[in-house]
Amino acid sequence: MRYIFPKILKPTNVHLLLNSLETAFNLEQKLIPNIKIDLGKVKKTSLLGILLNYKFVEYTYKHYCFKNPEMIVNDYVQAQWERYGFTDLIHLFIENKDQTEKGYKKLKVKVDDRFIIAPQALLRSRDYSDKFLKTEFLPKIENYYKSNEKVVAMIFLCLSEILLNFWEHAIDDSNSILVAEGNKNNIEIACADTGNGIISTLNSVFFNKSYDKPVILRKAVEKNITSKKMTNHMGYGLWILNQITTKTHGRFHIYSEGAYFKNEFGKEIVDNCGYWKGTIIYLSLPLNKPITLSDIENHDSTKFNNIKINWK
């Protein structure tokens, strides 16, 4: 049996990739022999494509889906693993050494004049993630975009909501990886896990209604939709990301458990797609007209103005 990655691994055709990978998520502990993970035909990829490549390898190895699978890769794919910092991590799995935490610690933020590439493992209960975020990841992004404070504010707002979301829904320490790549005109942020997906967590909210999966994803980006009512969760995170995407004419994709939501330059689409256990979020924002929360939320409303705060 062969899991074939498509020639082009761009955000526009992630659903094709998910279609070809979905059966693996039913093979936990099955140790199926004679499996080939075939990336031999990949000619073009992106940070999202490489992230999903890594997460698929990680999931299938950690859950003993295959017995000694053969991975077929070409020079281009190997160069892309190197570019995005995943070479060591993938090799740890191929060599059957589950030392991912060591590998995660080798992830480095790369910056040059034209690009910043920042991979980050989200290890919830370790100091490592918080320290790396504060000392490497966020300062380098801030420094790269220092000429435009509003760009930094927009990126940090998005990262705050994405990080919170993935940290809160992670089921163990090794499930979420965040990657960001940007230049002066655009930034892409992608995060993927193989934990509890948005569809499963939101199903509890709609327990008395029989929504199909794409409808649940469309509802997930509405304001005040949260799986955790009466807690500090507000259901604002995905709504904020979607609003920023629409106003900047960017792209925002969510893939979870057999469905997707896409906001492509302001046009929203939902549909079914191949199953992915967990959630994938992809955000691509042009930076020429940055938008922040004060541009979105209507704070002239009477209710808002009734809240008196002693700002100094």
Partner 1 sequence: MENINLNKYGPIISRKESGNEILELINNSLSNNTQIQIDLNKIKSMATFCAKQIFGNLYLKLGSEKFFERIEILNASDDLKTIIKIGIQNAVNEHNND
- Is residue 310 a contact point for partner 1 (CB under 8 A)? yes
Give the whole-angstrom CA distance, residue 77 versus residue 40. Answer: 8
249 binds partner 1 (CB under 8 A): no
Strands ordered across the beta sheet of 70-73: 2-4, 36-39, 70-73
Closest separation between CB of residue 175 and partner 1, Å? 16
Q: Which of 240, 241, 244, 259 binds partner 1 (CB under 8 A)?
A: 240
**Does residue 147 bind partner 1 (CB under 8 A)?**
no
Do the beta carbons of residue 284 and residue 262 sit within 8 Å? no
Q: Write down the residue that tokens 């960001």 correspond to.
A: 180
Q: In this complex, which beta carbon is closest to partner 1, that of residue 49 or of residue 182?
A: 182
Nearer to partner 1, 18 or 180 (CB): 180
* CB-nearer residue toward partner 1: 211 or 236: 236
What is each CA distance from 103 to 53, 62, 145, in whole angstroms? 16, 15, 28
Q: Does 152 bind partner 1 (CB under 8 A)?
A: yes
Cα separations in angstroms, 134 against 49, 210, 212, 229: 26, 42, 40, 30
2-21 residues near partner 1, rule: CB under 8 A: none
Burial 55-69 (b: 16+ CB within 10 A, else e): bbbbbbbbbebbeeb
How near is the Cβ of 125 to partner 1 at its closest, in Å? Answer: 9
Region near partner 1 per CB under 8 A, out of 33-41, 191-199, 241-249, 302-310: 302-310
* Nearest distance in Å: CB 119, partner 1: 17
Cβ contact 252:282 at 8 Å? yes
**168 binds partner 1 per the rule CB under 8 A:** yes
Query: How many CA atoms lie less than 13 Å away from 172 in the CB half-sphere?
Result: 5
CB 118 within 8 A of CB 109: yes
Asked if 207 interacts with partner 1 (CB under 8 A), we say: no
Shortest CA distance to 42 belongs to which of 6, 4, 80? 6
Name the segment binding partner 1 (CB under 8 A); options: 160-168, 184-192, 253-261, 268-276.
Answer: 160-168
Residues that bind partner 1 (CB under 8 A): 130, 133-134, 138-139, 142, 152-153, 156-157, 159-161, 163-164, 167-168, 230, 232-234, 236-237, 240, 292-294, 297, 299, 303-304, 306-312
